[in-house]
Each structure stands twice: as structure tokens, then as C-alpha cells.
Structure 1
Amino acid sequence: MDDYLFRWHLDQCKSVEEKTTYLEIFNYTDPAYNTCEDHSLLTEDDFENFLAQTGTFAPQQLKDGVSLLDGIRLIIQKDANHANTFAPDYISLTRSSYESMMKTWRLPFRAIEGSSIVGPFFWCSHDQDKEDRHLQIIFRKSDVRKKGKTRGWEIMLSYSYKTRITSGFVKGTESSDIVKSLKHLTACRAEVGHPLLLPIIILSHDLSSKGDKRQRDARDWLRRLENAITMRNEIDIAEVYSDFDVDGINRDLVECHSQVLWKRPQAYQEIIKEIKEAMRKFMQYEPEGGQPEEIYALHDNMLARLDFYRVKLTGMEHYIHTTLERLHIQRQALYNIMAQKESKLNLEIASQQRRVAHATKRDGTAMKTLSLLGAVFLPGTFMASVFSMTFFDFKVGPDNAGEDSGKSEVSSELWVYFVVTVPLTFLIVLVWWIIDRRRERKYAEEDIEIEKGIDTMEKDILAIMRKKTINKASTWNSNGQPVGFH
């Protein structure tokens, strides 16, 4: 089944080209024969000869009494730079070379099925050949594209219990620690007899102090944000935000959060568990006393190192949890501040609308005055028009004979005009005044209701803000005692 799945996945993969080198370290009973070589593999023939240890890569001739203790043989692609080198369904060797390497060195066929795995991944198992048993290891970490290129590293190893030689494939991009890890491996060439030496070296670089420093920097950044948002005074005056820019602080909160989540400790704790299980499997088929004492001492040392990383990651996990909780508090406080500003803005808008309403009311009062003047003069004008009609004759003008009297006369009936006009005008003004008073009382009642509604709304908003907003007044000092407590 594994053979079929391997060929099927291999047919689905595309090939990209990367610069390929090799590293070969052998330790002998006579240290004078120990070798450590690192050169390029320029041609397909060089690649095949290195796999089969033929041609220029044939084992050296040993004198009697000298034998091979252990060794490691690696095909390396360091500083891989192709954009798709860690993309799913891509391999960085030709199909024929990749298949030859996997079969000749008995590397785990399942590795090709994990080309799309993201994050740290470790797997270890024995093959099923009881005559020449191999311990197979896959250790990789890859990520999605960043600035157009994939990132990551991977190692595939196969340890032969019969020859005590670890064979494998190593690849990493420039952002990985593969170059440093290989340099570290070369410096520890006397200990390459342990198949998990390289995985633990890579793990050590991946869990270096850079992660601790990043968490410390994130905590310092958090304290600056706490000072800007909730006025927590735990930073130097030079670190204070010069301007309270809500958008800028919100972006800083998001970026600080992403920095804290870098290299999640829980993922590496699982990796440590799997590596410990792999070390147990390594010793499972190792005959008692079959390895030099130095390898057993190295094995115990590596277990102690894994315990050290486990405890370190546990502490980092708690530290990160505290940082994330404090970031959550600051984010909620910032949202409350933004809600306050929005509430104040809404109240300001309501106030402006009230001003517009009062201005409209004043305009209405002016129009009312004009209406009053019209009401005062309109009855007189109306009555004058009525009395001037032909329906009324007050006998002012020529006498009955049709002769002109020669002088103007005022009718003695003029009083009728005033008797009718003045009471009518007074009556109209009185009716208007009564109606206007009623309207004013109604408007006054509506204004009172509006004022009460605005006051109630403002009190409700302030009550909500008091519940949600962190009080900026300091009630607890840095010594852990309430202010004023002695």
C-alpha cells in the first residue's frame, strides 16, 4: 500500500530546482580515519554515486583492526529560494532522483504525503524489515507564503540498526535555522551515532532565546498600551505615547497580539512528547551494550534537555496566557473609550438639533408677530371695503335735487364703522390670543418632556459607561496596597 501511495503522490508533484550539497560524517574505532566532508552534488551521476557509495564516494580502505562505529550521510538543500519549494505537491528534486533517494536510503514514503502540513510536525516509526530494521523520522515545519515565497524546513531520516548510519534529506529556506543546525551538527560529529541528534539540534535552535525575547518585548509593548489606554503608570516617561490616536493604538494592540501568538508553546510541547517517544523507540531495538557508553550518556543528556524545554515551554505558556488576558482587558477598555466618544458625539448632535429647533421656534415667533399685525389691521380694512359698497348709502354728497351742496360733509353715521370695526378687531385679537396661549402652553409642555427625555438618556448613557469603563483613578499602588492604606 505504501509503495502505491508513494508513486501516486509522486506523480502528482511538480519539481523545482534547488542547489544540492551533501554532508558525510564517519566515526571509526581509530579516530585518525574519522571523516567530515561537505561538497556540492553537481550532476545526476554524482547524486546516484553518493546514494550508493560508489565511484568517488566509495568507502575508504581500512587497515586491520579498524571498523566503522557510526556515521551520518545527508543530502542537503540549504538556503532554498524557489517560491514554491515548500508549496503543497512540490518536490525540489527530479522525480527519478527523489524516488531513488527514498528507496535506496529507505526513507519514510509517508513524507511526500505531508508536503501540505503547516506548523511543527514530528513523526517516528520503525519499518517492517526485521532483518535490517530502520528507524524512520520526519521532522518539518512550513508555512504559507510571505512576500511571495514559501518558508520552512524539513528533515527525513532513516537510521540503520545494522550499520549505525543515519541517512537523510535536509532542506530549509533562508529564514530557517538549518545552516546553524548543520554547523552545530558538524561540531558534534563525534555524537552522530544517535539518530535523534539532528532533530534535537534543530529543536534547540527553534526554541532559542529569540522566542523568550519576543515575549518580553511584547510585554513591554503591552505596558505602553496600558499606560495609553488605562493610565497604568509602569513605564518610563520616554516610552509614553505622545498622542492618543485610537486607530494607531488599535493597530498596535493587534500587532502586539500577533507577536504574543508567535510559536505557540502547546505545539512544541506535543513535539517534545513525540521526540521522547522516538527516543524510546530507538532504544527498543538497540541491543544492550551495543552502543558506546558515550551514546548512552548522550541519550540521557538529550532526555534531560527535552525536560528542560518542556518546563521552559510550560512557563512560557502561563506567561503568554497572562499577556493575552491583559491585552483582552485593554481591548475592551479601548472599545469602551470609543463608545464614550460616540455617545458624546451623539449628545452633541442632539444638542445641535435642539439649537436648530429653538431657532426655528424664534422664527415662528417673528412670523406670529406679523400675523398679529395683519389680524389688527385686517378687520378695519375689511369693514371699510364693505361699507364702501353700493349696498350702503350714508347720504354724503349732492342733495336730493341733484345739485352740489358745494361742501364736504361727514356722515353722522360714521360711528357705525367704529362701533362695528373696533369690537370685531378686539374679538379677533382676543380669539388669537387665547389660541396662542394654549399653543404656548402645549409647546412648553413638549419642551419639558424633551428636556426630561434628553436628561434621562444622558443619565442612562453615563450609567452604562460607569459600568463598562475602567476607572482611571488609581485605587491600588505598585506595592500591592490600597491608596491611603498605612
Structure 2
Amino acid sequence: MGVDPFDNWYEQHLRSGRDVNFKPDDFNFGLLRCDVGSADNIRKEDVTAEELLQWTATRSPRQTPGIDLIICQYKFCGLRDYSYTSLPLRTSEMIDIFGKLHLPKQYLHLRGIGGAHSGAFTSFIDRDSDGKVSQIQFVIRVGHGSSTAYSSMWSFALKWDAQTGRTDGFLEGFSPASLTEFTEHIKSSSTYLGHGLTLPEILVHMITTQLNDRMRIPCEELFYDEERRTDLSNLSYLGSKRPAALQTWSLDEIQGITTRANRYITTMVYLKRRFRSTAQITHRLLSILEEVSRIDRTDSDAWTQDQLEDDRRKQRLQNRVGVLEGYEYQTECMLKRIENLNNVLYTVLAQIDSRNQGRLAKINLQIAQAVRNDSLPMRTIAYITLVLLPGAFVAAIFGMNFFQFDETTRELTVARTFWHYWAITIPVTILVLLVWNVWNYRENRKGMDVHKSMQYLSKKPQVDDMETLDVDPSAYYQR
């Protein structure tokens, strides 16, 4: 078996954590063991961490085709987040197990920060002195797990011995339901457990169905319902009545569907990446299958049977690639449809904002007109004041008595200078009235401009009317 020159680095990288993330109470351990053709009654054997370490230290490798798998399960899967930094065993114990089982130590890095969020897949093919395949190692770090509500992860390290046909492995992150499904797949593939690609193929199948059945389909169904509610789908709405036009929705409703649409985008981008990476894993398995198919066999009948099985496996993997590519194309289509919905929503929001701005402008104009109308009494008072003010002003200036009472004749006499009062008052009054009329004329012109603006706004089409919208929802049909 070849030596990876980076094994020491992987060990040192794991030790750098100094067991600060060691969470022994958060994990359960078990063993899945069986030989080829005897998996009908297979079930997980629950063991403690101490029993697991003792088993790895004392076990003698079997020389018969089959599997010996260590199962490590997070107790709270689906109930709370599972951090990739958490360790089920001490760093020294993890390193010891991987050393004794000859599992790829790159797993120690990829299960944590090396494959966090992105996922990872590696494979190593060892050959004997004749160039024949003697051993294959796999590391599969999935970017997701079995929980859709909380973070989780699937991480698998496998080693297949070509001489004995036996697979050892360390499988981490299965929920109880996923472990049950995995066990059922082992039972149905019992006669093929001696092949090095049986377990990787099962895991790829589970990854694919997990992504599609539990994530893609529910997300798309929710989005289709949103499309129907917004009348952007050719399919009729399943509700009791036809959905109301988007323009009549409340702001809270539009904000809610916008938030959900953006969340769908997050899910679809995630799925696009995962489907692509799973397809890449499947392509790698196809290339490894070509290597495994070249292993010499002495029994001609067995060779023929193995060839037939390899051909079936090749077709299954090729079909898997096609299905995954179809899923990936579907996510691209969904991203465009969600983008289309978002464009309509943002357009409607812009139109609603424009409508509100128009209404606000009309209200402001009405307020201005009302203020102008309310100033009429004040203008009347001001006008009267303007008429009387010059005379009062002149009277105050002169401060003289133009009328006198003659005590001898008992008559009212007018001063000879009385004409001075009129000579000054009348021109000043005319001048004031002239100035006021010029000012009033200019103000009236401004008022007419305001009135014309209000008439224009009142005749302008409003977005409340579906027939006057710039956006025709039928133009956005995608389905």
C-alpha cells in the first residue's frame, strides 16, 4: 500500500484542535458487519467508544468478501446544528482507528474545514508490483446531511481490498432513518458486497435521492404554488377562487412572497452545486470501474459473470450521471423562473411606489389649493385695509382739524385747506390699488398653473387599473 506524503500534515492539522471540540456525549457508535450473501439479518451493533477502540485494536482482518463498517451517529440530528468542528472521538483515537483500518487519513481534514460547506471526494488506487489494482480508498464528504432544518453532514471513508474483496469504512452523520435506508440497500446488494464500488454506488444513490426527494421537489412545489397565486403560471390556481392581481396585494403580502422567492433562489443555487458535485463523483466512479474491470480472474465463468455485472454497473452509473445532469438543468430553469417572478414583483413594487408618489403629489396640490382658497377672507380684509389705510395715514400725518364749529353762527365750517387732504389722499390710494392689482394678477397666474397641473394628474392613467399597466403578466409565462 502506498503512503500519502501528506498523512503527517492531516494528523497534525487534526491535533491542532487539542480536543477542544471533543463531544463524546453527542455521538452514538455502532458496527455493521457481514459477508457477501449473508446480509439478510444485518443490523447495527451498538458499541461504546471504549468497545470500538478495543475492537479496532484486537480485530483480525477477515479474508472473505464483505464489509466491516464503523457507524458514528450524531444524537441530535434534525434537532440542532451539527458543527463540522465537533469530534466524536479524541484526536489520538481518530488517528489510531484510521491507522489500524488503513483508511485514508485525508478524511481527517476533509470531514472538517477541508470539506466544510463545499463537500469533497477523493479516491486512491494502489497497485501491486505487476501494476494490478490491489486496494482502493474513498473519501466522500457531502455538503449536506439528512436534516433540512438544521445543519448536518455525511462523511464517509472507505477502503476496499481487491485480494479479499472486503471493505472497511468509517461512516459519519447518518440519521436513524438514513441508517435504516442504508441497511436496506446493503441487504438488497448482499451478493455484490465484494465489489469495491458497491458501497460508493449506494452512497451516491442516497445522496441523489436526499437532494431530490427531500429538497428539490418540496421547494419546487412551493414555488409553483407561488407562481399560480401571482397568476404567472399557465396552470390554474388550486384555491377556491382566482387569485387577485398583484397590484391589489398589500405591501406585507408582496414583501412575504419576495422573501420566499429569494429563499428559493438560495435553495436552488445550493442544489445546483450539489447535483454538479454528485455527478462529478459518479464520473469518477465510472473511471474507477474501468480500472477494476481489468483485474485478472482465473475462473472463466466468474470472469464472464463479473463482466456482465460490471456492464450493468456501468450503465447504472451512466444513467445516474444523466439523471443528475437533468436535475442540474432543472435547477437552472427554476432559477430563471424565480428571477422572472422577482422581476414582476419588483416592477409592481416600483409601480405602487410611483402611484403612491402621484397620490402624495395630488394631496400636496390639494392642500396648496385649500390654503389658497382659505386665504380669501384674509385678502378681503387686507383689501379693505388697503382702501382705508391711505386716508388714515394722511389724516394722521396732517393731524389737523378740517371742520370747525362756529359758536356765533352755530354752523360747521370747513377749513380752506381741506382740499389739501384730497389732493394727497386720492393719488396715494390709486397708487396703492394699482400696486395691489398688479401683485394679485401675478398670483392668479400662478394659481391657474397649479390648477392645470391637478387636471393633468387627474387624467393620467393609474396603475390600479389592470388595463393601464405597463407590465402584462402573460408576458412572463414560463410554464
Q: Give the TM-score taking structure 2 as reference length.
A: 0.78
Could you say which residue in structure 2 is the equivalent of 1:409?
412
Could you say which residue in structure 2 is the equivalent of 1:16?
23
Question: Which one-letter code corresponds to 1:278 in the other structure?
Answer: I
Question: Which one-letter code corresponds to 1:226 in the other structure?
Answer: E
Question: Which one-letter code corresponds to 2:35 in the other structure?
Answer: F
Native 8 Å contact 1:19 1:77 kept in 2: yes
Indicate yes or no: 2:352 matched with 1:351: no
Q: Which of 371, 375, 386 in structure 2 is aligned with 1:375?
A: 386
Native 8 Å contact 2:70 2:171 kept in 1: yes
Question: Which SS does the other structure have where 2:106 is aligned?
Answer: helix
| Higher Cα radius of gyration | 1
Native 8 Å contact 2:155 2:173 kept in 1: yes
Indicate yes or no: 2:259 matched with 1:251: yes
Could you say which residue in structure 2 is the equivalent of 1:193?
194
Indicate yes or no: 2:46 matched with 1:40: yes
Native 8 Å contact 1:223 1:234 kept in 2: no
Distance change in 2, residues 1:226/1:440 (3 Å): same
In structure 2, distance between residues paired with 1:52 and 1:129:
27
The percentage of aligned residue pairs carrying the same residue is 16
Could you say which residue in structure 1 is the equivalent of 2:68?
73
Distance change in 2, residues 1:130/1:79 (3 Å): farther
Displacement after TM superposition at 1:345 (Å):
0.7
Distance change in 2, residues 1:475/1:93 (3 Å): closer
Q: Which of 277, 284, 295 in structure 1 is aligned with 2:287?
A: 277
Question: Which SS does the other structure have where 1:109 is aligned?
Answer: coil
Native 8 Å contact 2:156 2:171 kept in 1: yes
Gaps of 5+ in 1: 60-67, 399-403, 481-486
In structure 2, distance between residues paired with 1:276 and 1:307:
8
Could you say which residue in structure 1 is the equivalent of 2:110?
114
In structure 1, distance between residues paired with 2:411 and 2:192:
144
Question: Which SS does the other structure have where 1:177 is aligned?
Answer: helix
Indicate yes or no: 2:244 matched with 1:206: no
Distance change in 2, residues 1:381/1:214 (3 Å): same
Question: Which one-letter code corresponds to 1:279 in the other structure?
Answer: L
Distance change in 2, residues 1:50/1:146 (3 Å): closer
Question: Which SS does the other structure have where 1:92 is aligned?
Answer: coil
Could you say which residue in structure 1 is the equivalent of 2:345?
334
Distance change in 2, residues 1:42/1:437 (3 Å): closer
Displacement after TM superposition at 1:354 (Å):
0.9
Native 8 Å contact 2:223 2:264 kept in 1: yes
In structure 2, distance between residues paired with 1:209 and 1:6:
30
* Structure 1 residues 132-173: Cα deviation after superposition (integer angstroms, max 9, x where no partner): 932111112145998996411222111122322211111224
Question: Which one-letter code corresponds to 1:123 in the other structure?
Answer: T
In structure 1, distance between residues paired with 2:145 and 2:172:
16
Listed as ranges, the matches of 1:398-437 within 5 Å are: 404-405=407-408, 407-411=410-414, 413=416, 416=419, 419-420=422-423, 423-424=426-427, 427-428=430-431, 430-437=433-440
Structure with more contact order per residue of length (Cα contacts < 8 Å, sep ≥ 6) = 2
Displacement after TM superposition at 1:363 (Å):
3.7
Distance change in 2, residues 1:386/1:46 (3 Å): closer
Distance change in 2, residues 1:269/1:229 (3 Å): same
Listed as ranges, the matches of 1:41-190 within 5 Å are: 41-42=47-48, 44=50, 47-50=53-56, 52-53=58-59, 69-81=64-76, 87-115=83-111, 116=113, 117=115, 118-127=117-126, 130=129, 133-143=134-144, 150-174=151-175, 177-190=178-191
Displacement after TM superposition at 1:382 (Å):
3.2
Displacement after TM superposition at 1:427 (Å):
1.5
Gaps of 5+ in 2: none
Question: Which one-letter code corresponds to 2:349 in the other structure?
Answer: M
Native 8 Å contact 2:29 2:48 kept in 1: yes
Q: Give the TM-score taking structure 1 as reference length.
A: 0.77
Distance change in 2, residues 1:372/1:201 (3 Å): same
Displacement after TM superposition at 1:124 (Å):
1.0
Question: Which one-letter code corresponds to 1:362 in the other structure?
Answer: N
